[in-house]
Amino acid sequence: MAEQEGSGLQVLLHTLQNSSDKESILAILKVISDLLSVGTDRRIYYLISKGGSEALLQTLVDTARSASPDCDILLPLFRLLAKVGLRDKKFGQKALELEALDVTLILARKNLSHSQNLLHCLWLLRVFASSVTTGAMLGINGAMELLFKVISPYTRKHTVTIRAATEVLAALLKSKSNSRRAVNRGYVTSLLRLHQDWHSHDVANTYVLIRHGLLRCLRHIVSLRSGKEAFLAAQGMETLFSIAQTCLENKSLEPVVSAVIQILRQCYPESQLPLATPRSAYTFPAPSSSSSELPWGLSEEDFEDDGDEEMDKDSDVEAVKEDDDLETDLNKLSSKPGFDLSEEELAQYGAMCPELSYSVEEPEPKYEDDLNIKDTLYADHQHIPSASSLRQQCFCREHSSWGQEREDAAHPFILHKVKGGKSSIQPSSKQRLVTSANQSLQQNGLGMDSSGHDTSDIQASLEQADWDIDAISCPRITASFSNSTKPAESKEAAEMLLHTHPKNIPFHDPHLYMANARRTRSAVRFKMMAFPDLWGHCPPPTAQPMLDRKLGVQRIKILEDVQRLLQPHDIINKVAFSLDEPCPLQGPVSNCLRFYSKFESGNLRKAIQVREFEYDLLINADVNSSQHQQWFYFKVSGMWAAVPYRFNVINCEKPNSQFNYGMQPTLYSVKEALLGRPAWIRTGSEICYYKNHYRKNAATMDGASGKHYYTLTFAVTFPHNEDACYLAYHYPYTYSTLMTHLEMLERSIDPRQVYFRQDVLCQTLGGNPCPLVTITAFPESNNSEHLERFCCRPYQVITARVHPGESNASWVMKGTLEFLVSSDPVAKLLRETFVFKIIPMLNPDGVINGNHRCSLRGEDLNRQWLLPQAHLQPTIYHAKGLLHYLSSIGRGPVVFCDFHGHSQRKNVFLYGCSMKETLWQAGCTVGGSALLEDVGYRMLPKILDKLAPAFTMNSCSFLVEKSRASTARVVMWREMGVSRSYTMESSYCGCNQGPYQGLQFGTRELEEMGAMFCLGILILELKSVSCSHKLLARATTLLNADVLDHYLQR
């Protein structure tokens, strides 16, 4: 039957090509048209496969070359050719061979005064022009000159034909040769005039598509350098900017506005950043590597380019990983290269694991309260402390101090907070709280702190300017606010200030923080402390909703950039702050904000006042690098309340950000803190993130390609006049905060119940101790059976903050630590079952110096796990050494997890490692026996998906990429055989699923995730085949059996 149909169609096509009878030709054309008018495109492709395109084109040529071309035949023929040609990939080539291009152009020229005939010619020319080759040929043969005869100034006649002509011209100009020809013949000016004429006369917006077609023509031309130059010379920026201003509010003009914005962005003159050099303002004489070069390139995280189009909606579709990055070499996936350490070197790590050979002794007395520890000017990065030195640095506390923080630190029973239970965010919060940042700041009312205590005295003194806010807001590390303008009263002011410090901030003490800050070593020797880190943070009682993105905000900001270029009369362009040059002194009365960032974790390199209430900000690159500008943290003061200030961070690097999808930066007000409301809150309006006109110079960018920078722009309305506020990319968590937290934790525990040991893993390149924490429970008694069980507890290893800018990882870690030492029965059971080895900050130097990603050597430490060197990457070298030691004695961790933050996705999720899933995703065919793999690596994320409100299994991935071969997760899996080796990613933004859907993460939710992770580890053990009946019985006794039963279903 198919053969009969095929032969029938071929007979029709053969007859069409050879017939000269008009009636026969029309009848065949009607039959073909009827066949193609119903059904799917398969009929068209079938026609093409039987030579339909050639038959129709030959008929066109024969008819056109006849003595008097018959329009009755040509018009249906044109319609059929336009329909078939769109599906035929070789249509242009066939038309060239049969000389159909010339014929169609000749017919178009002959029919310039016959609108209907001309329209049919244009339909076919549009199909021809869709091929670059045939389009270029049409350009050579004068097609553009013909089209400009058709595209007239504004008229109400023949508009359908004019629209078709603009579409053909736009298609032709995709060819660079045609665009160059258009520039040389002055068509740029002609197109601008035509568009301006249609725009000014089309007041009813009836002919938007014609206007859009003309703009498409311009867009193709300005993709060439010569086209941009011609466009700028013709004052195209001014013309289109003026047009855009009148179209923004009209939704029916969306195509026009979109095209105008794209052209303006493309033609905005590129420039270099207003910096002497893109390299960091901070340097550090780090030891050099014996290998070739440092890996400077950008790394990690999916790069989703926003292109030229505006992104007004959050699709929340996860980026698809590139399959060509997947590791497909089975030998590399399964090999276990060893760490090159001798037995003697490995044995040194035994000093960090005294619990392996523990004999019960009374806890040693804690060190003196003044916390004076001898400073080490030059660290020995290869030194592993001896057992005796560890005992001296292990901060064991007196029995009498263990209860001091217990009341404040009490954790709610964690099983009440799982997804099926009572979360800390009530269901009503899903209705999206519509409180602004200022309302959040002032939710308790002036005169009352967060606990309801009267603060009217402090409020009155603040209003009377009795407090030197600038001095208070960034005190010196060395003493009591000696930078005060009233030195004689500085000590009294400091005592008065600290006396007002609220006592309801768990595990924080400003005096202790100050002592730790004095010992912290930075590359530039910071002398000041940030007030939020000194004073502490109390999370708001409710999470804040994601910011609803204002429609068209990105276009507005791009047009403001263009306005700054075209109308610079109101531009101040005054440097308000710079790390590279001394800033001019500002008098007491100034209309310029004051900026400062030279404190721990601070990052702001330069602030330029653009207009009275607008500032361009530049982030400092990572130390000894020219890249990784994302993290910012700085103080701003001297503001007016209720005035929106705009900040433009103009040298961001990532091509996309959650700032486009509801995320806000964070703000801390000093005056609010002094009034009893010390909190980091989300703030900012009219936020967007987009590609700007600043371009990287490859010659000065460590070899990085010359791509564009991106702008993060947001407006902030401050709550108080003459306040001092801190703005940050995310909730800051400094190294000194960590050290203070660890010491406060240790003071809070009952040493008879909780084994808490803080060791020094090693000294960093900057001379800072990297803490190693061990948490477990003391043995039940001194008898040998209990001691043996104690020594045989399995290990769980958790690390965090290898990337300094991922401060959310530290808040998750804070929740983990506080939960593990808490009185929660789950925590008690965890301590009795496992030994937790925790490295809460793998990159202290990066955190201290305000880096986003790197160490003091300008390298990503999470790309150094394969072959770390003690003198170059000491924290990674010794962390790997410790893990290798545990593995070598058969005590490798059950779970290894490295806490991270993610800037381009929502929720919390895990990355794991699976050979089978990787090979399957890459499409590799491997024998079944080679793909045998324990699927237990999926168990923990599945458990967390049930437990944790912020966690989602849907975002988890277990693929092993080549680019991740030297990360902690992959190295632990490959070299040490830890099947449950993970990276846990927490969004900087918030959740788009579960109980927290539509909410941004606060520190409370991040800390909760840390506790949930611990609960997940316990459920994992209880679900395992090897779980003892005794542990299961104890779990049932300690915990709610009904709740447990739901999570223990195998």
Name the one residue in this structure whose structure tokens are 């890249």.
627
Q: Give dist(CA 898, CA 907) in Å, integer.
A: 16
Helix (H, G, I), strand (E, B) or coil at 925: coil
818 CA to centre of own chain:
28
| DSSP H stretches of helix in 779-897 | 784-791, 807-820, 825-833, 844-848, 874-888
Q: Give dist(CA 130, CA 242) in Å, integer.
A: 32
Buried b (16+ CB within 10 A) or exposed e, 556-593: ebbbebbebbeeeeeeeeebbbbbeeebeeeeeeeebb
Ranges assigned E (strand) in 925-987? 981-987
Helix (H, G, I), strand (E, B) or coil at 682: strand
CA distances to 2, 29, 77 from 6, in Å: 6, 17, 21
The region, left, alpha or beta by phi > 0 then psi within -120 to 50, assigned to residue 525 is: left
Q: Give dist(CA 994, CA 6) in Å, integer.
A: 57
Say if residues 36 and 80 touch (Cβ distance below 8 Å): yes
Burial of 713 (0-12, 13-18, 19+ CB in 10 A): buried
Name the one residue in this structure whose structure tokens are 């990503």.
860
Ranges assigned E (strand) in 572-657? 574-578, 594-596, 606-611, 614-618, 633-637, 644-652
Q: Give dist(CA 647, CA 641) in Å, integer.
A: 16
CA distances to 6, 244, 446, 484, 536 from 457, in Å: 96, 53, 11, 21, 21
Say if residues 843 and 855 touch (Cβ distance below 8 Å): yes
Report residue 407: phi and psi, to 5°. Answer: -65, -45
* Torsion sign over Cα 954, 960, 966, 969: positive
Say if residues 866 and 965 touch (Cβ distance below 8 Å): yes
Q: Give dist(CA 736, CA 992) in Å, integer.
A: 33
In the residue annotation, 985 being an active-site residue is answered as yes
Say if residues 326 and 671 touch (Cβ distance below 8 Å): no
Q: Give dist(CA 183, CA 220) in Å, integer.
A: 11
- Nearest residue to 894 (alpha-carbon basis) of 840, 962, 834: 834
Element containing residue 746 per DSSP (H, E): helix 735-748
User: DSSP letter string over 566-596?
Assistant: H-GGG---EEEEESSSPPPP--SS-SS-EEE
Structure tokens at 49: 């496969």
Q: Give dist(CA 164, CA 157) in Å, integer.
A: 13
Burial of 132 (0-12, 13-18, 19+ CB in 10 A): middle
- Residue length, the chain? 1050
Helix (H, G, I), strand (E, B) or coil at 454: strand
Please report how many Cα atoms fall inside a 13 Å half-sphere around the Cα of residue 477, on the Cβ side: 20
Beta bridge partners of 760: 771
> Which of 985, 1005, 1007, 1008 is flagged as catalytic?
985
Show the CA angle centred on residue 121, arms to residues 118 and 127, nearest 5°.
Answer: 145
Active-site residue set: 985
